[in-house]
């Protein structure tokens, strides 16, 4: 693992204005969607749908606005570790709460 990290052929990938605009309109669309869906009463499902849409938006922001898609492998790898460390312990709290 050590050597390929330092052999940095980082190409300083530049994303064009056009891509940014496409992503931006996608984000606006999803915002509209989440507001619209919230007006329909789905009961329990409302929370999950809202979270799903938000996660789509978050993915767009991370992958394109935050460059993650074009990023150095090391940064991508560390990001996955951080997400796991974020969600697994927080999820484990509910082992307690759901069985009280």
Partner 1 sequence: MGAGAKAFYHDDAVVFAGMFQAVKKAGKNSSVFRAIAWVLSWILSTDHKRVGILYFVAMFSFFSVAVSLGIMMRLELFQSGQQFFEPKTYNAMFTLHGVIMTFLFIVPGIPAIFGNFLLPLQLGAADVSMPRLNLASWYMYIIGAIMAVVSLFSNGGAPDGGWTFYAPYSIQTQTNVSLALVAAFTLGLSSIFTGMNFLTTIHRLKAPGMGWFDMPLFVWSLYATAWIQVLATPVVGITLLLTVMERTLQIGIFNPSLGGDPVLYQHMFWIYSHPVVYVMILPAMGVISDVLPVFARRHIFGYKAIAYSTMAIAGSGYFVWAHHMFTSGISDVARLVFSFITFLVAIPTAIKIFNWLATLYRGSIQIDPPMLWALTFLFTFSIGGLTGLALGAVVTDIHLHDTYYVVGHFHYVMFGGGGVGMFAALHHWFPKITGRMYNFFHAKVSWFFFFVGFNMLYFPMLILGVMGMPRRYHDYLPQYDFLNSVATIGSWIMVFGILYMFANLLKGLLSGEKAGSNPWNAKTMEWETQSPPVLHNFEKQPKMVHGPYDYEGEWVK
Partner 2 sequence: MSSHAASHPQDAHSDNPHADYIGDKVGFWFFLYTELVLFGGLFLGYFFYHMKYKEAFHEAGSHLNVFMGAGNTVVLLTSSLTMVMSLTALQKRKKGLSLLYLGMTILFALAFMVVKYFEWGAKFSYGLYPGSEILQSSHSDGVIIFYGLYFVMTGTHGVHVVLGLLALSWMFVWVWQGKIHADDYAYLENVGLYWHLVDLIWIYLFPLLYLVA
Residue whose CB is less far from partner 1, 40 or 93 = 93
Closest distance to partner 2 from the beta carbon of 91 (Å):
9
Is residue 88 near partner 1 by the rule CB under 8 A? yes
Q: Which of partner 1, partner 2, none does residue 99 bind (CB under 5 to 8 Å by kind)?
A: partner 1
Choose among partner 1, partner 2, none what residue 2 binds, the Cβ cut-off being 5 to 8 Å by kind: partner 1
| Least distance (Å) between residue 23 CB and partner 2 | 8
Q: Please say whether the beta carbons of 53 and 37 come within 8 A.
A: yes
- With tokens 């190409």, the residue in question is 11
**Interacting partner of 16 out of partner 1, partner 2, none (Cβ under 5 to 8 A depending on kind):** partner 2
Q: Are 49 and 42 in contact (CB under 8 A)?
A: yes
Q: In 10 A of CB 64, how many CB atoms? A: 19
Q: How far apart are CA 46 and CA 49, in angstroms?
A: 5
Query: CA 2 from chain center: how many Å?
Result: 28
* SS3 label, residue 98: coil
Task: Using CB under 8 A, list all residues that contact partner 1.
Answer: 1-3, 5-6, 74, 81-82, 85-86, 88-90, 92-93, 95-100
């Amino acid at each position: 693992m050590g050597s390929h990290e330092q052999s940095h052929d980082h190409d300083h990938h530049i994303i064009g204005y056009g891509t940014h605009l496409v992503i931006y309109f996608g984000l606006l669309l999803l915002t509209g969607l989440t507001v619209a869906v919230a007006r329909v009463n789905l009961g329990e499902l409302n929370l999950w749908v809202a979270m799903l849409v938000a996660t789509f938006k978050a993915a767009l922001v991370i992958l394109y606005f935050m460059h993650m898609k074009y990023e150095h492998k090391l940064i991508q790898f560390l990001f996955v570790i951080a997400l796991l460390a974020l969600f697994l312990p927080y999820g484990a709290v509910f082992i307690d709460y759901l069985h009280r």
